[in-house]
Amino acid sequence: MSGNHDDAVISRQVRLLESLLEDKGIVGGETVDEVIDGFLAGASPVNGAKVVARAWTDPAFKERLLADGSAAVAELGFSAGGVQPQRLRVAENTEDVHNMIVCTLCSCYPLRLLGPSPGWYKSEAYRSRVVREPRAVLGEFGVALPDDVKVTVWDSSAETRYMVLPRRPAGTGNLSEADLASLITRNGLIGTALV
């Protein structure tokens, strides 16, 4: 998935908007940088990994996470968050179902839990193909699933963000929550990788 063209277009649009805000005297460049830095502070896939590790070790938390992701991650001090509050829904991978997330309109996803989105996630290629041919896209990421595993693609929006709860790897029953968290990648939380 290559998002270089899309990234260049988005970068030009952002620079144009920043210039307009500065030229009109609405906000200075330093203020824009401070707002962006503040917005991104603490946004990391490490946060999502901690949520998953807790769900793997605490069945009651997992139940709450699947029922109301927003409330459950708040218990750990996190949010799906952006500028406005969003609802978080968590899709659990099982033996029979594999989940993936996308935002077909832009690149919405739970920034605070997954960190800044990768370039391929924002690309037109990923956004359009994952809904039409999710198995082919998974194959490009090196993920081959048995034919009897259903692949479900969840489309994020301005109001609702999604995160995947990957399957806990076999043989990890003796690992601590911190050790489990270290196994989880951002791509696993998006659904384009297995853990």
Task: Please list the alpha-helical segments (H only) found in the chain.
Answer: 4-23, 29-40, 45-57, 59-67, 69-75, 111-114, 119-122, 124-132, 134-140, 177-181, 186-190
> Quick check: helix, strand or coil at residue 97?
strand
Which distant-in-sequence residues (6+ apart) come within 8 Å of 6 by Cβ? 119, 122, 123, 124
**Catalytic positions, written as ranges:** 103, 106-108
